[in-house]
Chain A
Amino acid sequence: MPGAASLVPPVCGLLLAPLLLGITNRTKALIAGRRGPALLQPYWDIRKYLRRGAVYGDVTSWVFRLGPLVNLAALGAALLITPFGGVGSAVSFSGDVILLAGLLALGRFAIVLSALDTGSSFEGMGASREVHFAALAEPAFFLALATLARVTGSFSLTPIYQGLSATIWLGALPALALVAITLLVLALVENTRIPVDDPTTHLELTMIHEVMVLDHSGPDLAYIHYAAALKFWVLGVLLVGLAVPVRSGNIWLDGVATLLGMALLAGVIGMIESAMARYRLAHVPQFIVGAATLSAVAFILILV
């Protein structure tokens, strides 16, 4: 359904994604008893990086420069096919479920290549960990989406999410609850939140994502931070669209309910980060395999 109105959700995402990070950081600060950074701080950070010049090492090639751009482009495209709760996505076709996973993987692949291109052993280590965890997280993602596809009988994200009404929820309560938990864990894993990785640490041996972008600077770093915010938004919308089954048919009501859900999700993630410690690196695969198990159980529950 092309048209100007269908572009509202993606534009919303583009504008509001960094705000989610602001809400999460603010929640963490409030729980820790600090005032914390401004809600709009992620926007100021991105603007600051954009104004600076980029520094490129002598040993890096065009791969290094291409990485952040491809990543941002992939996430932007993912935003176009992600439905906003009951409100449809801008572009929708059968099989876009696979494309979404592919776009997320493409963005990750580009960042990993640009990290490897620096030749730094430190960044190579981060890339290796990122790919290791992503390889475990992808089956969980596919099984979760396959369960949703099976429940709603569709293979395209927009009909899947438009079909997730309260009656469907009651019919398949255990399976959908498991999928929701899986998607929450995946949001934590893919966005490098706390039980898996600490987004605030620098130069620590356990970090995963931050270590890959150590050599990026200026606009490249701005693109990476902005793309991370978009990823947070895309995975958050997938979860909130499931967890907030408001399907009144009125686009405004559905949209506002999903927006409130997103703000709530950012707050909940802030609370999880405040309440938990980061797992030891060796325990992270168990955590992700656990999430994959939940979605596998959900899939088997719904299959028979």
Chain B
Amino acid sequence: MFPLLDTVHAVGLLTCFALLGTSRIGACIRWLSFQGILFGIVPVIMHDGGLTIREVFLSAGNIGLKGIIFPWLLLRLRARANYNREVEPFIGFVASILFGILALGLSAWLALELKAALKQAPFVMLESSIFLIFVGLFLIISRRKALMQVIGYLVLENGIFVFGVITVVGTPLLVELGVLLDAFVAVFVMGIAIFHINREFGSMDVDQLSALRG
């Protein structure tokens, strides 16, 4: 059981670094899809004895939504907006990767601190979830284009999902599915908003939104 979690952890970290260091949006969306599937199987790995319908349902919902539907929506949006690269992020790609290393060290430290309070949570997943949250927030503030910010939001959402799965044992299925539905609606609304922004201004550069000041 635990070597499998270790592998998910290590590969998950690499997807984060790939997202931090890639400029092509298409590649980023595919990494995000892979990451969604990877962390989507965590509930199934995590079950202790007796795989119930609940874990399977949660996994399937996550993989379906974050691995297939969101990436499909984002790829469609990218094709519509005819936009392939994050050209000049606020923080460059090499600097982003260096930030990632710092954030990984910080999340390892935080996970060590939290370990005593959350005894049932496997340490590697704790570290993963905190790191995902850091990377998601960082992508949101450091990237110029709205589409990359949606990607950052989804990385953040992955982190919160993993944190929830490992720390809260008895969350009702309904609540988990409600969270998924929220994320779905959020991505949907963001997609529509980005599409309209792009059509109106001919760009989805959020920096240009400051030109809207009256």
The total of Cβ contacts below 8 Å across the A-B interface reads 50
Interface flag for B10 (CB, 8 Å): yes
Would you list which residues of chain B between 1 and 46 have a CB under 8 Å from chain A?
3, 6-7, 9-11, 13-14, 17, 21
The reply to whether A300 and B10 form a contact with Cβ atoms under 8 Å apart is: no
CB distance from B112 to the nearest CB of A (A): 6
Q: Which residue of A lies closest to B115 (CB)?
A: A304
Q: Which residues of A contact B97 (CB under 8 A)?
A: 289-290, 293
B92 CB → nearest A CB, Å: 10
Question: What is the CB-to-nearest-CB distance from A290 to chain B, in angstroms, rounded to a whole number?
Answer: 7
CB <8 Å contact, A293 and B6: no
* B101 is an interface residue with CB less than 8 A from chain A: yes
Check B6–A174 contact: CB distance below 8 A.
yes
CB under 8 Å from chain B, chain A span 255-304? 285-286, 289-290, 293-294, 296-297, 300-301, 303-304
Q: Is the CB of A178 within 8 A of B10?
A: yes
CA distance A301 to B101 in the complex (A): 12
**Complexed CA–CA distance, A300 and B98 (Å):** 14
Report the contact-size class of chain A (Cβ under 8 Å from the partner). Answer: 10 to 19
Write out the residue numbers on chain A whose beta carbons fall within 8 Å of the beta carbon of B11. 174
Residues of B within 8 Å of A289, CB to CB, are 94, 97-98
Within 8 Å CB of B112, what residues of A?
A: 304
Chain B: minimal CB distance from A98 (Å): 22
Q: Does A170 contact B (CB under 8 A)?
A: yes
Instruction: Kindly list chain B residues whose C-beta atoms are within 8 Å of the C-beta of A286.
Output: 21, 93-94
Q: Establish whether residues B21 and A175, one from each chain, have CB atoms under 8 Å apart when the complex forms.
A: no
The B contact surface, by secondary structure, is helix
- A residues within 8 A CB of B105? 300
Contact A290 B21 (CB under 8 A): yes
Q: Are B10 and A301 in contact (CB under 8 A)?
A: yes
Q: Note all chain A residues with C-beta closer than 8 A to B60.
A: none
- Cα A290 to Cα B9 with chains together (Å): 18
* Contact between chains at B7 and A293 (CB < 8 Å): no
Q: Give A181 Cβ to nearest chain B Cβ, in Å.
A: 10
Quote the shortest CB–CB distance from B133 to chain A (angstroms). 17
Closest to B100 in A: A293
Contact at B6–A304, with CB atoms within 8 Å? no
Q: Mark B60-93, 1 if CB is under 8 A from A, else 0.
A: 0000000000000000000000000000000001
Q: Does B151 contact A (CB under 8 A)?
A: no
In the complex, 15 of the A-B residue pairs with CB atoms within 8 angstroms, ordered by the A residue number, are: A174-B6, A174-B10, A178-B10, A286-B94, A289-B97, A293-B21, A293-B100, A293-B101, A294-B14, A296-B104, A300-B101, A300-B104, A301-B10, A304-B108, A304-B123
Chain A residues with CB under 8 Å of chain B are 170, 173-175, 177-178, 285-286, 289-290, 293-294, 296-297, 300-301, 303-304
B residues near A (Cβ < 8 Å) are: 3, 6-7, 9-11, 13-14, 17, 21, 93-94, 97-98, 100-101, 104-105, 108, 111-112, 123, 127
